[in-house]
């Protein structure tokens, strides 16, 4: 019976906000939340440099974005190339930046693996409901109905959209896309997406050229 109650508690858990914060190499500060044994950033990554100080390529134009991907080079941009979007959504990165051995995440942190994302959604009750618990509630940036959006987790996800394989921005106000560090295939990486019209967390693979948001987990 005790074991059963423990399992129920695990899979109906919520994240706990922390008084802690952390900084990246650019000096950006981030709040953090805990999920069982995991510690997650409570905001999207905003960094413009790898951990060793090398710059991540800023690929604003469509041509620059496609060129970076053709070279397997890490790149970032703001959604719609509007720096004002960085305040709410952070930066969008292609998977080549996520997987670069110089390290996109701040020291002591890393881009979560596919398994770490699965552990998070399991902790929040499973993929069918975890998305609602992770979406910021009552925020005007989410398109209505923001189904199930309670942010009971403190994850505070906002709909940062993505930059697609053609270099075009899409799904602003509708979806929050997050890369994992795991490779799906030579052309694809694993990711998670939260959508405005459902409470689920969707797992799938997407072309590495795409630009998505990034959250980090403590080592």
Give the residue extent of every domain in the chain: 2-218
- C-alpha distance from residue 195 to each of 78, 83, 112 (Å): 20, 23, 20
Chain segment 67-95, per-residue pLDDT in tens: 999 999 999 999 999 999 999 999 999 99
- Bridge partners (DSSP) of residue 188 are 207
Read off the tokens for 80: 């719609």
Beta partners for residue 39, in sequence order: 34
Query: How do 75-77 and 57-58 pair as beta strands?
Result: parallel
What CA–CA distance (Å, rounded) separates 91 from 49? 12
In tens, the pLDDT along 50-69 reads 999 999 999 999 999 999 99
Average pLDDT over residues 29-48: 96
pLDDT over 50 at 172, yes or no = yes
Q: Compute the average pLDDT of residues 113-120.
A: 98
Phi (first) and psi of residue 120, to 5 degrees: -65, -50
Strand order in the sheet with 75-77: 57-58, 75-77, 92-93
Contact 47, 106 (CB under 8 A): yes
Q: What is the pTM of this model?
A: 0.91
pLDDT exceeds cutoff 90 at 195: yes
């Amino acid at each position: 019976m005790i074991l059963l109650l423990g399992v129920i508690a695990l899979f109906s858990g919520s994240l706990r906000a922390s008084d802690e914060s952390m900084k990246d190499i650019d000096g950006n500060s981030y709040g953090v939340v805990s999920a069982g044994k995991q510690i997650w950033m409570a905001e999207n990554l905003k960094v413009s440099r790898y951990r060793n100080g090398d710059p991540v390529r800023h690929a604003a134009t469509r041509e620059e974005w496609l060129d970076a991907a053709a070279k397997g080079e890490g790149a970032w941009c703001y959604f719609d190339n509007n720096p004002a979007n960085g305040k709410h959504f952070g930066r969008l990165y292609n998977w080549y930046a996520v997987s670069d051995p110089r390290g996109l995440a701040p020291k002591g942190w890393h881009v979560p693996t596919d398994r770490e994302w699965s552990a998070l959604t399991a902790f929040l009750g499973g993929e069918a409901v975890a998305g609602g618990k992770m979406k910021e509630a009552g925020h005007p940036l989410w398109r209505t109905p923001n189904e199930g959006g309670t942010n009971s987790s403190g994850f505070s996800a906002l709909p940062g959209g993505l930059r697609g394989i053609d270099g075009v921005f899409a799904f602003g106000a509708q979806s929050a896309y997050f890369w994992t560090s795991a490779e799906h295939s030579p052309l694809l990486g694993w990711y998670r997406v939260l959508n405005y019209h459902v409470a689920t967390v969707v797992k799938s693979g997407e072309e590495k050229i795409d630009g998505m948001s990034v959250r980090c987990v403590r080592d």
